[in-house]
Amino acid sequence: MTEASMTNTPGWRAHIITLFPDMFPGPLGVSLSGRALENGAWSCATHDLRAYGEGSHRAVDDTPAGGGAGMVLRADIATAAVADARTHAGDVPLLLPSPRGTPFTQAMATELAAGTGAMFLCNRFEGVDERFIATHDLREISVGDYILSGGEMASFAMLDAIIRLLPGVMGSSASHHEESFTEDLLEYPQYTRPASWQGHDIPAVLTSGNHAEIAAWRRARAQDITATRRPDLWARYVARHPAAARNNPNDKKSG
């Protein structure tokens, strides 16, 4: 096991089981997440999957039963790696990045950030032996309807979403409540100086100083954008706020 952390301060713990431990912390070692890593808000421990392989080449995979392309991560190898990692990680959630998994959401990131850490099993093959999945308490999670070369990139995305929610990482917790997906709404448009640029002015309401009108404008714009671009999110939002559909002209089902 190798660990990237500059302090011994207890924090949120990420344990990564991967064939490429040198990939971590990677981009998570810079900017906000990098400073949080140095400050001990979180730590990143990697576990080399190849260490549990067999034979002279430390093989961890085999051909799929029944034939087919690619290779499959063996159940016994995956189990040995997870069992060893557990001795360091403790009883944290085990996550398996997978295109057939439950979609990763902001709510899921918030839930995981509230815990003590998580373990990520990064696969690089056609899949993991189903017997491993069936006999372990794990969560298969998808970061989108596309295929990646391995679970590492998906883990980076999930970790970034989680780490920024940890206490003190972003500085102000208030900003979390206005971001996209927090209430099934995409974020409203943002503006800054100059006040006029190439014939486009900042909306007057944003410079009015009237905080109630500004809040109402932002809510309306967030609803417009969500209804237009993400009808799936809009449907969830309207289910909880029926009046929004009646007041939003972009909603084709409004009366």
Give the domain ranges of the chain: 2-163, 180-247
Task: Identify the band that residue 70 occupies on the pLDDT scale cut at 50, 70 and 90.
Answer: very high
The pLDDT value given to residue 248: 80
Which residues 6+ apart lie within 8 Å of 156 measured at CB? Answer: 26, 27, 28
- Output the CA torsion sign for 52, 70, 64, 17: positive
Tell me if 251 sits within 8 A of 237, measured CB to CB. Answer: no
| 152, containing H or E segment | helix 151-163
The pLDDT value given to residue 175: 58
Q: Is the pLDDT of residue 251 over 70?
A: no
Class of the 2-163 domain? alpha beta
The pLDDT value given to residue 10: 73
How big is the CA angle at 225 (ends 221 and 226), to the nearest 5 degrees?
115
CA gyration radius, the chain = 22
How much is the pTM? 0.89
Nearest residue to 13 (alpha-carbon basis) of 24, 71, 252: 24
Confirm whether 2-163 and 180-247 share one CATH topology. no
* Percent above pLDDT 70 for the chain: 93
What's the CATH superfamily of 180-247? tRNA(m1g37)methyltransferase, domain 2 (1.10.1270.20)
Mean pLDDT to the nearest integer, 220-233: 96
Query: What does the alpha-carbon distance between residue 38 and residue 31 come to, in Å, rounded to a whole number?
Result: 11
3-state secondary structure of 239: helix
Query: How confident is the model over 156-213, as pLDDT tens digits?
Result: 999 999 999 999 998 755 555 667 787 899 999 999 999 999 999 999 999 999 999 9
Q: Is the pLDDT of residue 87 over 80?
A: yes
Query: How confident is the model over 128-160, as pLDDT tens digits?
Result: 999 999 999 999 999 999 999 999 999 999 999
Q: Is the pLDDT of residue 7 over 50?
A: no
